[in-house]
Amino acid sequence: MTAKPLITIIGSLNIDFVTVTARIPGPGETLTAKSLHVNAGGKGANQAVACGKASFISRDQQDVDVDMVGAVGENDPYYASLVKPSLEKSGVNCRLVREIGGSQTGTATILVEEGGENRILVVPGANHDAMQDAKLLQTLATTGQNRAPAVLVMQGEIPRQTLLDLLDLFGSGAGTGTSTQIILNPAPVYPEGIPIEALRHVDFLIVNETECAMLGREVSEHISGSGGDDLSDAQLESLSQDFHSKANVEHVIVTLGARGVFFHSRGANSGEMVHGLKVDNVVDTTAAGDTFVGYFATALARHVAQHERSSKGFDLRAALTRANAAAALCVQRATNVDSTNVDSTRPTNVDSTRPTNVDSTTATNIDSTTATNFETTPPDAPGNSWALSVPAPYILLVTITRAKQMNSIPFATHWALHKLWEWFDKEPTLRVAVLTGEGKKAFCAGQDLIELGERSAAAGLSNAADLALLATVKSIQGHPPSGFAGISRRTGKKPIIAAVNGFALGGGFEIVLNCDMVVASPTATFGLPEALRGIYAGAGGLPRLLRNTSLPIANEIALTGRFLSADEAMQLLLVNKVSKTPESVVDEAVALASKTAAISPDAIIVSRSAIREAWETGSVERAYQLKGLLAFKEKRKPNWKPSKL
């Protein structure tokens, strides 16, 4: 069995004391704050948690291993009761976290204002005391699972010399696209900076604008000062070229907050932008940077696992789009996950005499990467047959979690999914859904034939003709009015995008035929094999196949049972696009969904309704939303409100 790719994070673990206040007090001023929480944190731990959460492909299965290398104080009750459980719950291995006698766990005091801005004071503790020996840390990282990590992630909350030594020790393969891929997020930036010769080992340099400007002083004579001002497009372009030519960095990624993400790869003529996602309600920006790094690192690990530990061919834009969406999502919630109410009888581990070494533009706060904040409660999945997540603002990702059964669907799940889509249409925080299947083999292979066989045996049927008849009857009687998986005959209000990651056969293809948009993996296969078994596609797929293609093509597919490749489906206009790689199909579907979710919720519903009416009946409707027209007339960007339709 092939080992899963390994991400190793070498970095800090903290206890965060988070105070939420209307504003930061001035000198000599005392204010009454709104709340105080104790959270698990530290940039290393936060990024490890983001990697762990991004690695789950179902509720209890990860396709990437995540190791945390760090240090805490010995017998620290906060580590035992808060930090370690938070890491492990998020899928992070903690066996390489050392408990050090005579040292204290690092702490961070975080003041969070209304509007989400934060101020942070850090006491490094064991993050510095026990992180001096780079060779020991490298040994831990490479022997913890008896293999070198596919991806190594490091930040600036460990001693500077340790970081430089680690870059040198791991850097033998850096810059060649092989061996361990090194991601450096130098936050906070050391006052002394990072020398050019150390940066040459970095494959992916991830910085915000301030960090980019501060590091840029090492490679460019055109940057001066502290780097607090916004960088122009020309400066970003120039600095990236300097990082490539003078420091040998392969990829430069600059996060720009609400503006989005700028990225530039060695050899490219110019940089590119992933545009920012509009966030209506910014609650706390603390975890955004670490969430971004974690989701990006996980996408990279998945790629190198399939490409002999090489980053060649990595879809950088798709990975950055998803990481940016995850960061946008996490700023919409408060930093109170896995926190406890403060108890003054418990130790605080604060030593005000220790150095701070912190940059308030980057963030901590563990476990903020999968916020949902639904206003209503979604229905339960029978037998854990699906998993819900929110990969980007306003986007619901539904993953059928029956990979061992090729994501085939039992009868009870059809009705449960019918209720799920009804809930989705009513939930005001959601605008677009993406549906995919667990694993790499199948999107959905149709009805659960094992369950069908059990029903057949119970009915005393055994010959092929009787079984075929039962299959057809049960498929009709066993489905809700909205059809197979609650989709194949669904009208609904909001759009659903299919991210077809493998086989879409029988009912699985009927789902696809009634989805509003379709993104297919290059390995996707479509077909209606029912006729080969003496039955027919009775869940609404046949008329929709005719609508989407033509009479000759629909007959060929339905009457011969032949399968279509992703490229053939694209040529027949059955899918919108074929993803660049099998691994990027969900990311590209989410990116497509985000474009839709950025417009008026009412416009989405009304426009979709008009298109469907014309598609199903031939009637033509004109739909528009007054608010969008007014915004166009006034040359301003509309601020869309949740739909009341």
Q: Which helix (H) or strand (E) holds 503?
A: strand 503-505
Q: Which pLDDT score is estimated for 635? A: 52
* Sheet strands (E) in 25-176: 35-41, 56-58, 61-62, 65-73, 97-100, 106-113, 118-123, 151-155
pTM (predicted TM-score): 0.56
Active site residue 242: no
Point out the least confidently predicted range of 198-202, 420-424, 476-480, 603-607.
476-480
Rounded mean pLDDT of 58-85? 91
Helix, strand, coil percent values for the chain (each to nearest 5)? 40, 20, 40
Q: How many CA atoms lie within 13 A of 15 on its CB side?
A: 26
Strand partners, 174: none
Are the beta carbons of 414 and 484 closer than 8 angstroms? yes
Please report which confidence band the pLDDT of residue 327 belongs to, taking 50, 70 and 90 as the band edges: confident
Q: Which pLDDT score is estimated for 443? A: 94
Q: Which pLDDT score is estimated for 286? A: 67
Query: How far is 197 from 219, CA to CA, in rounded Å?
Result: 11
Domains assigned to the chain:
6-332 (3.40.1190.20), 382-598 (3.90.226.10), 600-644 (no CATH)
Rounded mean pLDDT of 577-595? 93
Q: Phi/psi class of residue 410: alpha, beta or left (left: φ > 0; alpha: ψ in -120 to 50)?
A: beta
Are the beta carbons of 512 and 498 closer than 8 angstroms? yes
Sign of dihedral through CA atoms 476, 482, 486, 490? positive
- Characterize 520-534 residue by residue with b for buried, 16 or more Cβ atoms within 10 angstroms of its Cβ, and e for exposed: bbebbbbbbbbeeee
| pLDDT(631) > 70 | no
Strands 118-123 vs 106-113: parallel, antiparallel or unpaired: antiparallel
Query: How far is 124 from 42, CA to CA, in rounded Å?
Result: 9
* Long-range pairs for 625-629: beta carbons < 8 A, 24 or more residues apart: 625/600, 627/600, 627/602, 628/599, 628/600, 628/603
Point out the least confidently predicted range of 141-155, 214-228, 567-581.
214-228
Point out the least confidently predicted range of 97-101, 315-319, 375-379, 627-631.
627-631
Q: What percent of the chain has pLDDT over 70?
A: 80
Q: Which pLDDT score is estimated for 172? A: 62
Please report which confidence band the pLDDT of residue 616 belongs to, taking 50, 70 and 90 as the band edges: confident
Provide the 10 A C-beta neighbour count for residue 389: 17
The chain-wide mean pLDDT, for the chain, equals 81
Tell me, what DSSP letter sits at residue 624? Answer: -
Query: How far is 496 from 494, CA to CA, in rounded Å?
Result: 7
Token pair in block for residue 31: 């204010």
Q: Give the pLDDT confidence of 234-270 residue by residue, as tens digits.
A: 889 999 999 999 989 999 999 998 888 999 999 998 8
Residue from 293, 282, 451 nearest 373 by CA: 282
Please report which confidence band the pLDDT of residue 531 belongs to, taking 50, 70 and 90 as the band edges: confident
Token pair in block for residue 520: 């297919």
Q: Give the pLDDT confidence of 119-171 residue by residue, as tens digits.
A: 888 899 999 999 999 999 988 888 777 788 999 999 999 999 999 999 998 88
Q: What is residue 300's three-state secondary structure?
A: helix
Residue 279 CB-density burial (10 A; 0-12 exposed, 13-18 middle, 19+ buried) = middle
Please report which confidence band the pLDDT of residue 456 belongs to, taking 50, 70 and 90 as the band edges: very low
Point out the least confidently predicted range of 360-364, 576-580, 605-609.
360-364
Are the beta carbons of 107 and 349 closer than 8 angstroms? yes
Query: How far is 300 from 628, CA to CA, in rounded Å?
Result: 39
Q: Which pLDDT score is estimated for 450? A: 58
Q: Which pLDDT score is estimated for 307? A: 81
Strands 6-10 vs 151-155: parallel, antiparallel or unpaired: parallel
Q: How many CA atoms lie within 13 A of 430 on its CB side?
A: 32
| pLDDT(222) > 80 | no
* Sheet strands (E) in 363-460: 386-392, 395-400, 432-437, 442-444
CA gyration radius, the chain: 26
Rounded mean pLDDT of 77-93? 92
Please report which confidence band the pLDDT of residue 373 belongs to, taking 50, 70 and 90 as the band edges: low
Residue from 50, 6, 291 nearest 141 by CA: 6
Are the beta carbons of 521 and 497 closer than 8 angstroms? no
Strand 65-73's sheet: what is its strand order? 97-100, 65-73, 6-10, 151-155, 181-185, 204-208, 251-255, 260-265, 272-275
Residue 360 CB-density burial (10 A; 0-12 exposed, 13-18 middle, 19+ buried) = middle
Choosing from 67, 165, 290, 367, the catalytic residue is 290
Q: Give the pLDDT confidence of 343-361 residue by residue, as tens digits.
A: 222 222 323 222 222 222 2
Token pair in block for residue 104: 């204290």
Please report which confidence band the pLDDT of residue 638 belongs to, taking 50, 70 and 90 as the band edges: low
Residue 476 CB-density burial (10 A; 0-12 exposed, 13-18 middle, 19+ buried) = exposed
> Hey, what amino acid is at 444?
C
* CA dist list (Å): 512 to 447, 508, 574, 577: 14, 7, 8, 13
Q: Which pLDDT score is estimated for 284? A: 66
Q: Which helix (H) or strand (E) holds 298?
A: helix 288-306
| pLDDT(317) > 70 | yes
Q: Phi/psi class of residue 301: alpha, beta or left (left: φ > 0; alpha: ψ in -120 to 50)?
A: alpha
| pLDDT(567) > 50 | yes
Rounded mean pLDDT of 219-225? 60
| pLDDT(297) > 80 | yes
Higher pLDDT, 280 or 459: 280
| Preceding omega of 188 cis (within 30 degrees of 0) | yes
| pLDDT(408) > 50 | yes
Q: Which pLDDT score is estimated for 94? A: 94
Q: Which pLDDT score is estimated for 216? A: 83
Query: How far is 608 from 305, CA to CA, in rounded Å?
Result: 40
Are the beta carbons of 178 and 310 closer than 8 angstroms? yes
Q: Which pLDDT score is estimated for 607? A: 86
Tell me, what DSSP letter sits at residue 82? Answer: I
Provide the 10 A C-beta neighbour count for residue 480: 18
Please report which confidence band the pLDDT of residue 640 belongs to, taking 50, 70 and 90 as the band edges: low
Token pair in block for residue 164: 């430089």
